[in-house]
Amino acid sequence: MRILVVGDGKVGHTLAEHLTAEGHDVVMIDRDEEVLQHCEDTLDVLCIRGNGANAKTLIEADVAQTDIVIAATASDETNMLCCLVAKRLGAKYTIARIRDPEYNESLTLLQRELGIDMTINPERATALEISRILRFPFASNIEPFAKGQVEMVEFRPQPKDVVVGYPLKELSMHHPGLPRVLYAAVERAGQVFIPNGDFILHPGDRVYVAGDIVTITDYFRFLGKNSLRIKNVMLLGGGRISYYLAKLLVPTGMHVTMIEINPQKALSLSEQLPHVNVLQGDGTDQELLDQEGLKDMDAFICLCDRDEENLLTGLFAVQQGVPKVIVKNNRVTYADILSGMGLESIVSPRSITCATILRYVRARVNGSGSSVERLYRLLNGKAEALEFIARAGDSYIGIPLKNLRMRRNTLVAVIVRSGKVIVPFGNDHLEDGDHVIIMACESGITDLNEVIRR
């Protein structure tokens, strides 16, 4: 596909990197010549200097022959105008990054009037991710599939957990009451496995399990991991993520305290969020955190602008014994190091934004059968979970999975059929319209026929 990226910032550059790796023809537009030169030196892309909302620049980039335009500049208004002009000039699909909360309530109208096919709000998407993690405080990560009917939860087994020490195929024999979930992926000592029935979980493994919401909840209740309920939450920083997150948490009955260093911003937030305890002060000051009852909090979430402040304050909260600490950090390469220091839950707005846009791009790629509906990068990008819809006429329809050939290092994790979630075994089969979730240890899969063959 031919994809035009407007704005060579952190998100734009990361997107271009992933898109070129997947074989797409990428054009980058930016006003900064030095930034473009770096992009041209490091990536196989065509770079054009100019304003992405200017028709002349878009025509120079041959926008009429472009499949997708992604507007990811620092300005919401520029992104929206870019999509409007690009659509009028013949672009097939447009994506705009829109961050300002003031636009959130009118997004549907804006999309319809401006011809924007998809909008992404990084801060709100990050807030939604954090709110999901708070549902399962013991989990490091939670990913929803099949319109929320299926969840994939990452956790680390402890030495006393009943799932440790037995081959996966024998777990139900040793523990008859253990709800049946799918063990989708495991990372151990930096290596990722798609486990089979002979695989044995070890303490400290990073494990992804998948199932419907009720079964997943019952599974962790069986393991004794859902005893902690989040009631008191402290947010460090009063930025957009904190604003969206507070709006999500308060209706669930959680008591939210927010610390913001800027006096004017703190006053504004206290007016916008009347049910949140907004404090003005330096949230990195350990004495202030002690005075405001950090040790009594069930969760502490670091959302400052600077990653370094988030990491240091998060480590302090871990040392103080806060049960759940979540840290915003865009340096995903440090995730393993931070995990070893006790910071299990790391959220990256940049990664969440890029992953969301890549899912949309994948869904637009037409394969010989079923294209990707959703894509999630797991375990720091070492594995992917992909959601497809099975189609009538494909060779795998109606044939038991045990009689089909599976691509190496892939696994059929979950099937959703008419609202019913199925954890598949060898005798199960696929039908037309099934939502199929595939686990893979490689990138670039765009079609279900690439994974399953007759």
Q: Do 232-322 and 2-120 have the same topology in CATH?
A: yes
Highest mean pLDDT among 126-135, 283-292, 362-371, 375-384: 283-292
DSSP secondary structure letter of residue 407: P
Q: How does pLDDT run across 390-426, given as a tens digit for each residue?
A: 988 888 999 999 899 988 889 898 898 988 888 888 8
pLDDT value of residue 369: 43
Spelled out in words, what is the top-level CATH class assigned to the domain 127-222? alpha beta
CATH topology of domain 232-322: Rossmann fold (3.40.50)
Q: What is the chain's mean pLDDT, rounded?
A: 89
pLDDT value of residue 343: 84
Q: How does pLDDT run across 164-209, given as a tens digit for each residue?
A: 999 999 998 999 999 989 898 999 988 999 998 899 999 989 999 9
Residue 213 in this model has a pLDDT that exceeds 60 = yes
For residue 376, list its beta bridge partners.
Answer: 385
Residue 270 phi, psi dihedral angles, 5° rounding: -65, -30
Domain 2-120 has CATH 3.40.50.720: yes
- pLDDT confidence band for 367 (50 / 70 / 90): very low
Highest mean pLDDT among 233-242, 408-417, 434-443: 233-242
Residue 366 in this model has a pLDDT that exceeds 60 = no
pTM above 0.85, yes or no: no
**Mean per-residue pLDDT, 73-97:** 95
- pLDDT confidence band for 365 (50 / 70 / 90): low
Sheet holding 141-145, edge to edge: 141-145, 150-155, 206-212, 182-188, 191-193
What is the CATH architecture of 369-453? 2-Layer Sandwich (3.30)
Alpha carbon distance 431, 113 (integer Å): 38
Residue 43 in this model has a pLDDT that exceeds 60 = yes
Domain ranges of the chain: 2-120, 127-222, 232-322, 369-453
Alpha carbon distance 74, 57 (integer Å): 18
